[in-house]
Structure 1
């Protein structure tokens, strides 16, 4: 019995030593950063800004952005969930991780990932084509109250689709959904006048709105954003407190050694809170709202609980 305990203790020490050695040697090669969406959307754009800033905090090692679209992010998320938990495969995490695990037949769930950092909380906005016949929120709501309004989404069960479903239920609105394969395609639908309106994140909408291609009708947040100070909140116009938004963060496969997780989280904090990165994000229309690995995990758990309450709306649309 004494020998068994001694052997077990030796094994634990060896495992701990190996983990510490792995952390001390990290990083010794480039890191794959998987974006589970097509290029051109907010997750891809902000991911590439992270990749450009990463080498300084990662001893010169690069973040290699790999776009893996498909299945509403299922392809990329499946890939990362089954990748080695060694710190060399990271995932651009959005609410789709939660939505897909709750709504689709996938091989992973939220616990299949290690949350490392949240870097952006982006309020939802309602937009129309700049050339459309819905010039403001009141006109949009009137049209959706007395008839069907076509709504472009970046995909079925995405956070933007869910935001539209939730608003339609709360306010008694009638939407006809046109699902696209990406945020870029959603924007093309709007700009081309193929649909009347859409739901997207503020960060995605600011640039096209400044270029005169789309019109932002309202921000679904507590206060106006300094990124679009002339756009009213939904509550300002209607009196109803309607809030919705999306998040962007970074995760890894579950099972990361504690020391590697700590090393990754620390280095990511340097990247995501640097003045240069914050300035670049702001110039592109994205506000940095950094939360560390523990706070990100809490946020994910809360969001998952909220999503479970919205599932019946999604199921009614299927």
Structure 2
């Protein structure tokens, strides 16, 4: 074999050995064989959108085909989720839902456009994180108990904002009121940023917000964090107690991101997606990126996902009923 033939053979062998994941999976005939779309049923730039794009990037690397993100906001996540629920159950149209979409909306909307149980295949919760109870720094309440006592001593005088009726922030407040008897007035804004601005300005006294949004404001002293809503403390603020630790029994309100597809997804597709998500969630760099926004990687199984849904639908259904909140 002359030098030219040797080099040609070596290049060919090297190319075969270094086959891209996309080519390898295509040869094996395994899912996925083409571009996979993940719908985010909310506006771009939010915590759910950022989390989805992080996992989409790594799913592309793990499974060898592009996972592209498409934002389709509307009706507290119902619009984009319904669109995917009506698509073919082949694994090429998925949606990253929030806790509100599948656990709050069924109680909030009289006419849900889809059945969260029957019309969807649950794949995995990819991340979870707390809300944070924050107040204007000038409010004379430095703990949850002091806030509750202040609200009881001045019924109807304290105002808390949220990004709208029926949002997780609104219902986190309603859960606090239900568990403590505190008399706090809810003020619904058209967007979280407007409510946050008014908390900092002192026009309203406080609000519940995602930790990713609240973190820089807390660090700059523009708001005061009284507690987080999760079952355990946040690594981002280890000195901030949970609301349960602060003395409010049976209080847990977490925000999470969960990947679902249309009902009837093939088992092998679900298994490949869940396995890839669990692998991605275990990566230290992914965990660090999520932690920077106050979230924690999960990557659980479809059954664990469904157990979470059953538990939270009952809990939020009770709070929606008590609050009288409606979205339609």
- TM-score, length basis structure 1: 0.82
Write the distance in 2 (CA, Å) between the matches of 1:227 and 1:253. Answer: 35
Give the corresponding residue for 2:120. Answer: 113
Write the distance in 1 (CA, Å) between the matches of 2:246 and 2:310. Answer: 32
Contact 2:159 2:187 in 1 (8 A): yes
How far has the Cα of 1:192 moved from its partner? 4.4
User: CA separation of 1:113/1:239 partners in 2, compared to 1, >3 Å: closer, same or farther?
Assistant: closer
User: CA separation of 1:316/1:283 partners in 2, compared to 1, >3 Å: closer, same or farther?
Assistant: closer
User: CA separation of 1:240/1:262 partners in 2, compared to 1, >3 Å: closer, same or farther?
Assistant: closer
Contact 2:39 2:84 in 1 (8 A): yes
Give the corresponding residue for 1:294. Answer: 303
How far has the Cα of 1:130 moved from its partner? 4.2
Contact 1:40 1:184 in 2 (8 A): no
Does 1:47 find its partner at 2:52? yes
Contact 1:93 1:248 in 2 (8 A): yes
Does 1:142 find its partner at 2:149? yes
User: Which moves more between the two structures, 282-291 or 107-116?
Assistant: 282-291
What is the aligned length?
Answer: 296
Q: Deviations over 1:222-249 (max 9, x none)?
A: 5433210121233444464533222221
Write the distance in 2 (CA, Å) between the matches of 1:120 and 1:246. Answer: 9
Does 1:81 find its partner at 2:85? yes
Give the corresponding residue for 2:234. Answer: 225
Q: Gapped runs of 5+ residues in structure 1?
A: 1-20
Give the corresponding residue for 1:31. Answer: 36
Does 1:210 find its partner at 2:225? no
Q: Deviations over 1:33-61 (max 9, x none)?
A: 222222333212222222333321121x3
How far has the Cα of 1:155 moved from its partner? 2.5
User: CA separation of 1:98/1:223 partners in 2, compared to 1, >3 Å: closer, same or farther?
Assistant: closer
How far has the Cα of 1:116 moved from its partner? 0.9
Contact 1:72 1:155 in 2 (8 A): no
Contact 1:41 1:183 in 2 (8 A): no
Alignment equivalent of 1:166, drawn from 148, 151, 175: 175
Write the distance in 2 (CA, Å) between the matches of 1:86 and 1:189. Answer: 46
Contact 2:145 2:246 in 1 (8 A): yes
Once the two structures are superposed, the pairs formed by residues 59-208 of structure 1 within 5 Å of their partners are: 59=64, 61-96=65-100, 97-104=102-109, 105-111=111-117, 112-130=119-137, 134-145=141-152, 146-148=154-156, 149-208=158-217
Write the distance in 2 (CA, Å) between the matches of 1:35 and 1:186. Answer: 23
Give the corresponding residue for 2:14. Answer: none
Alignment equivalent of 1:254, drawn from 263, 270, 280: 263
Q: CA RMSD in A?
A: 2.7
3-state DSSP of counterpart to 2:75: coil
Q: Gapped runs of 5+ residues in structure 2?
A: 1-25
Contact 1:234 1:241 in 2 (8 A): no
Write the distance in 1 (CA, Å) between the matches of 2:123 and 2:198. Answer: 34
Bigger radius of gyration among the two = 2
User: CA separation of 1:196/1:217 partners in 2, compared to 1, >3 Å: closer, same or farther?
Assistant: same
Does 1:273 find its partner at 2:282? yes
